[in-house]
């Protein structure tokens, strides 16, 4: 194999120090301000003056829809969107059709990701067979498969049976897995359409009360403590949930938590339009919740940002609110929304950004070669960001098949200029380049 | 104002204009030939995704008295389960040159969706959407109250509002689009509203509405009330733990014979009893109350046609006042218009 090298010149590493980064054979070969010609060799030079270099983003919460709903998204289109958004790894949620509840399905998704070559695709395994909540899926088989599943979730549906949740938490200890819970008490949310509060009272839409999320999180952190296992809480959306997670962490309970970009920026006031592009589960909440979530992400109570990228065909949103599907796209806007809500507000630095979008999610998902520091010898998963750029969100111009972006027409800061995935530029000059082709199969 | 979607966004001037126009329209209904040519050649579609014979025939009568062509489109059940989307149904009607779409839908917000999505150009009138709004019901209720209020004070109702009137709305507020629309419209018109309901049948967030909240119907009556509106209790609520039993509901929150007697005992001789219908006699309202001289139930039905004529006329003629522009609108109908003969 011929040596392929890139020299990223004059990038601001994590927005802290300016340096050149030499990439060779998928690895960061050198970092410095005065790399000699002998070191650089015939590397292709990328002028990154004024750009910020970050570790490639890792999404713990992506719906790629394949197999089964290829009209909504495929692994190919979803991972193109991910690369454009600055990601080098995504976790594909299990609610495909068939459900990713067997070794066969997770290996299929894993292979599709390999073939596409835009990012690492790590399948999430279902906790229960068919997401039905009544029988544990073969978690061990999925863990032992080529996909090496470590994150298990019935996302979209809560593992509401406390005994089932307990067993799942206990069982995954055998292979150091983690249960990612979609916290939603089902009886308290029957027919729920939006956050329950002032706006739902006005609009006459059935409420999704905060307590339905908080009561499950409270139960689950206590179960995790009781059985000594790891819990990950998906898409935390309320101020009360933050308080419970903070309490659990103070007690030393092994819990991690996630917030979506849309819950960091948008509030339930948008539902007054009855436009289903704002319909999502958990729902958009109140202003006080948004601010509590931002504070929690900044202080580490919430560990990571997860997109909950949920593409839907247009007919699933071009209808009355109650009939519309829940979910929003997010891969191609995540960086900008987090910059807008966390960095422009002074709540976080770019180094913090790298922690919550790369380092921490890679640790939760146990991805050894993702979320690594920008240092010599590390895998070259790097994203270059023009933080000064501003752009208008146009869903029609996105790589995802989903046009259901709640950020449509908003002006946001920050553009991904380049994404390096195992040393290969999947994105260059803000546009898709070519996919990475793994040299060896795992 | 192009559409009538709710009462929360309805300005004082537009509300008064609709009520005043309805007043003129009511004269049409008292004539031998109950028809004027105001909307001749215009097409009104009644698009009903939910059964409601009463509201549909009220709108149908209103449109026909204005000489509009009426198309009734019943699409009961979910548009999704039916296989055709709301968008396609609406655009089909648009292709048939509908000038106004009167929509009743089980989903809150469906009329707003129709009005704001760019799918159609027609004026949209909300004839009841989910548990959200029922603006023409609130307007006919206000029309009924205004007539009563003006009569008591010996003044003309045209141009008047409901300032100072005390209104109690009792029952299943949580699921009631009638209650929601009344709260906002009555607030706009200056009435003082008290909602009375079991706590389970009040929405979270109701404390932000421009009204008082009470769990005690007797106390609300004793405080003095000029109009009391009883809300229908839907059958599907009865076994969902909103209240222990229909008998307990009737005793605590129903307008029963004892409360009718209480009004007399309190010397509140001018208090009217309202109900949007259809009534559950013996549950939220006793037969004696429903049939008493205080009851305005049938007047409400009659006024419904006038109010809907006014709404259709104003939206389709483009004569609706802009929000917050106080001006006298020109007389809508010359009383001497002899009307159309081609109505068979």
Out of A200, A201, A322, the one facing B107 most closely (by C-beta) is A322
> Closest Cα to residue A426, out of A148, A57, A123?
A57
At residue B337 the predicted structure's pLDDT band, cuts being 50, 70 and 90, is very low
- What burial class does residue A377 get, using C-beta atoms within 10 Å of its C-beta: 0-12 exposed, 13-18 middle, 19+ buried? exposed
Check if A205 contacts B (Cβ < 8 Å).
yes
Residue of B nearest to A324 (CA): B80
Q: Please identify which residue in the block is written with the tokens 């553009």.
A: A415
From the centroid of its chain, how far is CA A383? 15
Query: How far is A233 from chain B, CA to nearest CA, in Å?
Result: 26
Q: Are A136 and A98 in contact (CB under 8 A)?
A: no
Handedness of CA B138, B144, B147, B149 (dihedral sign): negative
Please, what is the end-to-end C-alpha distance for chain A in angstroms? 18
How far is A132 from A141, CA to CA, in rounded Å? 19
Check if A269 contacts B (Cβ < 8 Å).
no
Q: Please identify which residue in the block is written with the tokens 């007047």.
A: B299
Give me the pLDDT at residue B321, please.
67
Give me the pLDDT at residue A439, please.
54
- B86 SS3 class: helix
Check if A323 contacts B (Cβ < 8 Å).
yes
> Closest Cα to residue A327, out of A247, A249, A273, A260?
A260
At residue B15 the predicted structure's pLDDT band, cuts being 50, 70 and 90, is very high
Give me the pLDDT at residue B82, please.
57
Handedness of CA A67, A70, A76, A77 (dihedral sign): negative
For chain A, domain boundaries: 56-365
Query: How far is B282 from chain A, CA to nearest CA, in Å?
Result: 27
What per-residue string of b and e applies to A218-242 under the rule 16 or more CB within 10 Å gives b?
Answer: bbbbbbbbebebbbbbbbbbbbbbb
Out of B79, B85, B131, the one facing A204 most closely (by C-beta) is B131
Three-state SS string over chain A comes to CCCCEEEEEEEEECCCEEEEEEEECCEEEEEECCCCHHHHCCCEEEECCCCEEEECEEEEEECCCCCCCCCCCCHHHHHHHHHHCCEEEEEECCCCCCCCCCHHHHHHHHHHHHHHCCCEEEECECCEHHHCCCCECCHHHHHHCCCCCCEECCCCCCCCCHHHHHHHHHHHHHHCCEEEECCCCCHHHCCCCEECCHHHHHHCCCEECHHHHHHHHHHHHHHHHHHCCCEEECCCCCHHHHHHHHHHHHCCCCEEEEECHHHHHCCHHHHHHCCHHHCCCCCCCCHHHHHHHHHHHHHCCCCEECCCECCCCHHHCCCCHHHCCCCECCCCCHHHHHHHHHHCCCCCCHHHHHHHHHHHHHHHHCCCCCCCCCCCCCECCEEEEEEEEEEECCHHHCCCCCCCCCCCCCEEEEEEEEEEECCEEEEECCEECCCCCCCCCC
Q: Are B313 and B66 in contact (CB under 8 A)?
A: yes
For an interface test with A, give the residue of B109, B111, B175, B202 to mutate (most A CBs within 10 A).
Answer: B109
Check if A125 contacts B (Cβ < 8 Å).
no
Give me the pLDDT at residue B322, please.
56
The ipTM (two decimal places) reads 0.89
pLDDT in tens, B113-146: 999 988 999 999 999 999 999 999 999 999 999 9
Mean pLDDT of B93-113: 93
The percentage of chain B sitting over the pLDDT mark of 70, rounded to a whole number, equals 91
Residue of A nearest to B80 (CA): A323
Mean pLDDT of A266-290: 98
Question: Which residues in chain B have their CB less than 8 angstroms from residue A193's CB?
Answer: 108
Residue of A nearest to B88 (CA): A319
Query: How far is B174 from chain A, CA to nearest CA, in Å?
Result: 8
Mean pLDDT of A150-170: 98
Give me the pLDDT at residue B83, please.
67
Neighbours of B331 (CB within 10 A): 10
| CATH C-level class of A56-365 | alpha beta
Query: How far is B100 from chain A, CA to nearest CA, in Å?
Result: 19
Residues 6 or more apart whose CB falls under 8 angstroms from that of A70 comprise none
Left, alpha or beta for A41 (phi > 0: left; psi -120 to 50: alpha)?
A: left
Residue in A308, A352, A369, A394 annotated catalytic: A308
Give me the pLDDT at residue B77, please.
53
Q: Are B201 and B242 in contact (CB under 8 A)?
A: yes
Check if A204 contacts B (Cβ < 8 Å).
yes
The percentage of chain A sitting over the pLDDT mark of 90, rounded to a whole number, equals 96
The DSSP annotation for B98-155 comes to: -SEEEEEESSTTHHHHHHHSSS--SEEEEEEETTTB-HHHHHHHHHHHHHHHHHHHTS
What's chain A's average pLDDT?
96
Question: Which residues in chain A have their CB less than 8 angstroms from residue B110's CB?
Answer: 274, 320-321
In this predicted structure, the answer to whether residue B30 has a pLDDT above a threshold of 90 is no
B300 is in an annotated binding site: no
A424 is in an annotated binding site: no
* Partner-chain contact A322 B117, CB within 8 Å: no
Domains of chain B are 12-134+303-317 (3.40.50.1370), 137-299 (3.40.50.1370)
- What burial class does residue A121 get, using C-beta atoms within 10 Å of its C-beta: 0-12 exposed, 13-18 middle, 19+ buried? buried
* Partner-chain contact A323 B208, CB within 8 Å: no
Mean pLDDT of B279-286: 95
In this predicted structure, the answer to whether residue B326 has a pLDDT above a threshold of 50 is no
Question: Which residues in chain B have their CB less than 8 angstroms from residue A202's CB?
Answer: 8, 180, 205
Stated pTM of the model: 0.92
**Angle made by CA atoms B46, B302, B143, in degrees to the nearest 5:** 95
* Partner-chain contact B132 A203, CB within 8 Å: yes
pLDDT in tens, A360-388: 999 999 999 999 999 999 999 999 999 99
* Partner-chain contact B85 A205, CB within 8 Å: no
- B260 SS3 class: helix
Out of A193, A274, A323, the one facing B79 most closely (by C-beta) is A323
The helix (H) or strand (E) run that includes residue B272 is strand B272-274
Question: Which residues in chain A have their CB less than 8 angstroms from residue B112's CB?
Answer: 273-274
Question: Which residues in chain A have their CB less than 8 angstroms from residue B130's CB?
Answer: 204-205, 322
A98 cis-preceded (ω within 30 degrees of 0): yes
Neighbours of A390 (CB within 10 A): 12
Out of A273, A275, A320, the one facing B107 most closely (by C-beta) is A320
Q: Are B34 and B28 in contact (CB under 8 A)?
A: yes
Active site residue A220: no
In what order do the strands lie in the sheet containing A120-123? Answer: A57-62, A87-92, A120-123
Check if A201 contacts B (Cβ < 8 Å).
yes
Q: Are strands A431-432 and B43-48 parallel, antiparallel or unpaired?
A: unpaired
Q: What share of chain B is helix, strand, coil (3-state, %, to 5)?
A: 40, 15, 45
B34 is in an annotated binding site: no
At residue B93 the predicted structure's pLDDT band, cuts being 50, 70 and 90, is confident
Q: From residue A362, how far is each of A61, A113, A118, A194, B161 by CA, in Å?
A: 12, 17, 17, 31, 65
At residue B319 the predicted structure's pLDDT band, cuts being 50, 70 and 90, is confident
* Partner-chain contact B204 A200, CB within 8 Å: yes
Query: How far is B223 from chain A, CA to nearest CA, in Å?
Result: 26
Higher-confidence residue of A210 and B241: namely A210
Mean pLDDT of A146-162: 97
B134 is in an annotated binding site: yes
A182 is in an annotated binding site: yes
Q: Are A121 and A114 in contact (CB under 8 A)?
A: yes
Out of A193, A196, A319, the one facing B204 most closely (by C-beta) is A196
In this predicted structure, the answer to whether residue B333 has a pLDDT above a threshold of 60 is no
pLDDT in tens, A26-47: 999 999 998 888 888 999 999 9
From the centroid of its chain, how far is CA A138? 24
Query: How far is A408 from chain B, CA to nearest CA, in Å?
Result: 15
A422 is in an annotated binding site: no
* Partner-chain contact B180 A274, CB within 8 Å: no
Q: Are strands B123-129 and B227-230 parallel, antiparallel or unpaired?
A: unpaired
Q: Are B11 and B323 in contact (CB under 8 A)?
A: yes
At residue B340 the predicted structure's pLDDT band, cuts being 50, 70 and 90, is very low
In this predicted structure, the answer to whether residue B338 has a pLDDT above a threshold of 50 is no
What tokens does A307 get?
């997109």
Mean pLDDT of A137-145: 98
Out of B108, B133, B205, the one facing A321 most closely (by C-beta) is B108
At residue B334 the predicted structure's pLDDT band, cuts being 50, 70 and 90, is very low
> Closest Cα to residue A385, out of A343, A324, A323, A442?
A343
């Amino acid at each position: 194999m011929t040596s392929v090298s890139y020299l990223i010149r004059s990038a601001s590493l994590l927005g802290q120090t300016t340096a050149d980064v030499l990439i060779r054979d998928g690895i960061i070969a050198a970092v410095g301000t005065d790399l000699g010609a002998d070191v650089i060799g015939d590397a292709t030079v990328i002028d990154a003056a004024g750009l910020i270099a970050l570790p490639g983003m890792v999404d713990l919460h992506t719906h790629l829809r394949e197999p089964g709903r290829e009209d909504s998204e495929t692994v190919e289109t979803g991972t193109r969107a991910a690369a454009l958004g600055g990601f080098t790894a995504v976790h594909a949620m299990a609610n495909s059709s068939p459900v990713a509840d067997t070794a066969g399905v997770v290996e299929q998704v894993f292979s599709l990701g390999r073939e596409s070559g835009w990012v690492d695709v790590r399948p999430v395994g279902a906790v229960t067979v068919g997401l039905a909540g009544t029988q544990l899926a073969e978690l061990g088989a999925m863990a032992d498969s080529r996909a090496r599943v470590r994150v298990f979730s019935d996302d979209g549906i809560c593992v509401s049976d406390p005994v089932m949740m307990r067993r799942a938490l206990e069982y995954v200890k055998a292979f150091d897995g983690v249960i990612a819970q979609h916290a939603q008490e089902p009886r308290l949310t029957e027919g729920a359409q939006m956050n329950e509060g002032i706006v739902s009272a006005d609009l006459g839409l059935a409420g999704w009360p905060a307590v339905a999320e908080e009561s499950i999180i409270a139960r689950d952190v206590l179960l995790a403590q009781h059985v000594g296992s790891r819990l990950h809480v998906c898409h935390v959306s309320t101020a009360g949930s933050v308080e419970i997670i903070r309490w659990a962490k103070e007690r030393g309970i092994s819990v991690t938590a996630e917030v979506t970009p849309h819950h960091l920026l948008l509030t339930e006031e948008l539902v007054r339009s009855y436009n289903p592009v704002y319909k999502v589960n958990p729902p958009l909440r109140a202003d006080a919740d948004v601010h509590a979530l931002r504070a929690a992400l900044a202080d580490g109570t919430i560990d990571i940002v997860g997109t909950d990228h949920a593409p839907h065909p247009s007919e699933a949103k071009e209808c009355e609110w109650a009939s519309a599907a829940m979910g929003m796209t997010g891969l191609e806007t995540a960086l900008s929304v987090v910059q807008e809500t966390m960095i422009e507000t002074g709540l976080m630095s770019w180094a913090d950004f790298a922690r919550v979008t790369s380092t921490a999610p890679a640790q939760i998902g146990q991805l050894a070669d993702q979320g690594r520091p920008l240092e010599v010898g590390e895998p070259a998963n790097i994203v270059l960001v023009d933080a000064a750029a501003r752009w208008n969100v146009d869903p029609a111009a996105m790589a995802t098949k989903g046009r259901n972006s709640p950020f449509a027409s908003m002006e946001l800061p920050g553009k991904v200029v380049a994404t390096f995935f195992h040393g290969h530029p999947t994105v260059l000059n803000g546009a898709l380049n070519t996919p990475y082709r793994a040299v060896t199969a795992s | 104002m192009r559409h009538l979607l709710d009462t929360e966004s309805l300005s004082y001037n537009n509300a008064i204009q609709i009520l005043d126009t309805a007043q003129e329209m009511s004269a049409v209904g008292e004539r031998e030939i109950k028809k004027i040519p105001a909307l001749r050649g215009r097409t009104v579609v009644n698009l009903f995704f939910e059964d409601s014979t009463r509201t549909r025939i009220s709108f149908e009568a209103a449109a026909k008295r204005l000489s509009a062509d009426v198309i009734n489109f019943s699409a009961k059940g979910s548009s999704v389960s039916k296989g055709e989307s709301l968008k396609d149904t609406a655009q089909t009607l648009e292709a048939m040159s509908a000038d106004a779409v009167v929509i009743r839908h089980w989903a809150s917000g469906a009329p707003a969706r129709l009005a704001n999505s760019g799918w159609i150009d027609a004026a949209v009138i909300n004839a009841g959407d989910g548990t959200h709004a029922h603006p023409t019901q609130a307007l006919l209720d206000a029309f009924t109250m205004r007539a009563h209020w003006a009569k008591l004070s010996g003044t003309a109702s045209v141009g008047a509002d409901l300032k100072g009137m005390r209104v109690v709305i009792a029952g299943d507020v949580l699921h009631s689009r009638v209650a929601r629309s009344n709260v906002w419209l009555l607030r706009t018109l200056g009435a003082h509203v008290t909602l009375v309901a079991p706590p389970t049948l009040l929405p979270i967030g109701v404390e932000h509405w421009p009204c008082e909240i009470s769990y005690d119907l007797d106390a609300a009556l004793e405080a003095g009330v000029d109009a009391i509106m009883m809300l229908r209790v839907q059958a599907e609520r009865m076994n969902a733990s909103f209240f222990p039993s229909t008998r307990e509901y009737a005793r605590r929150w129903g307008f029963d014979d004892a409360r009718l007697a209480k009004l007399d005992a309190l010397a509140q001789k001018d208090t009217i009893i309202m109900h949007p219908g259809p009534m559950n006699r013996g549950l939220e309202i006793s037969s004696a109350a429903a049939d008493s001289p205080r009851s305005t139930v049938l007047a409400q039905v009659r006024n419904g046609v006038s109010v809907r004529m006014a709404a259709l006329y104003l939206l389709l003629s483009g004569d609706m006042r802009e929000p917050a522009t106080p001006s006298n609108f020109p007389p809508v109908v010359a009383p001497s218009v002899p009307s159309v003969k081609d109505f068979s």
